């Protein structure tokens, strides 16, 4: 079929990886909530209370004001990168590498905890003013530093993708959308931002600002350091320029082109899916506490069994498929959020209205409530 011919192996890889990142990041976020609830429940002393609060402080909740101004801030950052990239590229590369190191260590942490559990206790090792860390945390951070160093030396796209995956999972896990109202404000504003900078920026700046910033490689810090220190013509000069991990890229089966998807097109819909997953869990707990009270009488039992998470995840897949087909048909870059936002928000709003949850989800649906459940069936 025509649609099938427009999707190759690179697009299929993008679909699968982006969906896996969203699902994994959402469940890591939910597990963090469970851990925080358990710590709050178990903390009876002042020291225990302090530890629980410090854990919660690592989570950032976006409010309405931040949701409105985030597209403006993103636009300013995009213009700075467009006009002054040569001046800030080294600093930006170093900052990105540091953030990617921390994020990838977070991505590797569950695997390292599994590997170190049989051979070492989970006691924390003190490193003075640097803090206290478990063996799993030290292992994940060491592996992450090693991967970043190899990426700096080789510039390989697969290592860049690994760092971008870590950034996606960490952002989905540590950032919260508190309500459906904030979700709609944020995603609608970012849709306008994406459409403007992809479709209309060329008429003002004589160049597609979004595409140029996303695809422009940066000087390797090792090369810059060797030139600054005058280490000689052969020292640090053979390292490649770096494509920064702000996107996922996958080569086609023929190697003629790369499929590219910005991490914002994964993280922002991922925050919405994380929100609905938390709401599904909250509603499940509320129904179990009320002895399984039935839903509204005008909704069938089959509709009540469909989770918001599944509905929104299917919408994300359909929107991503539509964006890919559109980019192949028009042979030009497409603002992915133009397709992802309607295909995720509209089915969610429709289902919430039919289930009678729209008013509750619209404004601060979650209450302070401890949960003894540690598992969620999806």
Residue 63 among the catalytic residues = no
Using the 8-state DSSP alphabet, how is residue 369 labeled? -
d(Cα 341, Cα 298) in Å, to the nearest integer?
28
Using the 8-state DSSP alphabet, how is residue 331 labeled? T
Name the strand (E) or helix (H) holding 126.
strand 125-126
| Strands 60-61, 175-176: pairing kind | parallel
Local structure of 60: helix, strand or coil: strand
Burial pattern 157-183, b for ≥16 Cβ within 10 A else e, equals bebbbbbbbbbbbbbbbbbbbbbbebb
Angle between helices 264-289 and 337-355 (to 10 degrees): 10
Contact call for residues 110 and 24 (beta carbons, < 8 A) = no
Question: Of 8, 161, 223, 265, which is the active-site residue?
Answer: 265
Name the strand (E) or helix (H) holding 132.
strand 132-133
d(Cα 91, Cα 80) in Å, to the nearest integer?
13
Question: Of 161, 194, 223, 357, which is the active-site residue?
Answer: 194
Provide DSSP, 218-264: B--HHHHHHHHHT--TTSSTTSPPB--SSEEEEE-TTSS-EEEEETH
Residue 194 among the catalytic residues = yes
Beta bridge partners of 249: 260
d(Cα 236, Cα 155) in Å, to the nearest integer?
13
Residues taking part in catalysis: 194, 265
């Amino acid at each position: 079929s025509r649609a099938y011919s427009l999707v190759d192996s690179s697009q299929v890889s993008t679909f699968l990886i982006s969906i896996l990142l969203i699902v994994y990041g959402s469940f890591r976020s939910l597990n963090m909530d469970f851990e925080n609830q358990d710590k709050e429940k178990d903390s009876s002393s002042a020291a225990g209370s302090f530890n629980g609060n410090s854990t919660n402080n690592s989570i950032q909740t976006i409010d309405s004001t931040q949701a409105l101004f985030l597209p403006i801030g993103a636009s300013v950052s995009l213009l700075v990168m467009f006009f002054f990239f040569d001046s800030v590229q080294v600093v930006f590369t170093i900052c990105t590498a540091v953030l990617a190191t921390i994020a990838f260590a977070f991505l590797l942490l569950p695997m390292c905890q599994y590997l170190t559990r049989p051979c070492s206790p989970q006691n924390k090792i003190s490193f003075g003013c640097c803090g206290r860390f478990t063996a799993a945390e030290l292992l994940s951070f060491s592996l992450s530093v090693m991967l970043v160093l190899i990426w700096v030396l080789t510039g390989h796209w697969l290592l860049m993708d690994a760092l971008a995956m870590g950034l996606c999972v960490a952002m989905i896990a540590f950032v919260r959308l508190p309500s459906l109202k904030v979700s709609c404000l944020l995603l609608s504003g970012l849709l306008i931002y994406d459409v403007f900078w992809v479709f209309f920026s060329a008429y003002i700046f004589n160049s597609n600002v979004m595409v140029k910033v996303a695809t422009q490689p940066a000087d390797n810090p090792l090369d810059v350091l060797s030139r600054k220190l005058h280490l000689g013509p052969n020292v640090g000069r053979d390292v490649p320029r770096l494509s920064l991990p702000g996107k996922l890229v996958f080569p086609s089966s023929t190697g003629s082109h790369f499929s590219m998807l910005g991490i914002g097109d994964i993280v922002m819909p991922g925050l919405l899916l994380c929100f609905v997953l938390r709401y599904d869990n909250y509603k499940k707990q509320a129904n179990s506490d009320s002895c399984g009270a039935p839903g509204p009488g005008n909704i069938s039992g089959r509709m009540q069994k469909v989770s918001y998470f599944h509905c929104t995840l299917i919408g994300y897949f359909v929107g991503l498929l539509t964006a890919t087909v559109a980019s192949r048909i028009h042979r030009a870059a497409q603002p992915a959020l133009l397709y992802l936002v309607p295909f995720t928000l509209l089915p969610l709003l429709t289902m919430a209205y039919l289930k009678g949850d729209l008013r509750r989800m619209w404004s601060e649906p979650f209450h302070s409530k401890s949960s003894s459940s540690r598992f969620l069936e999806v």
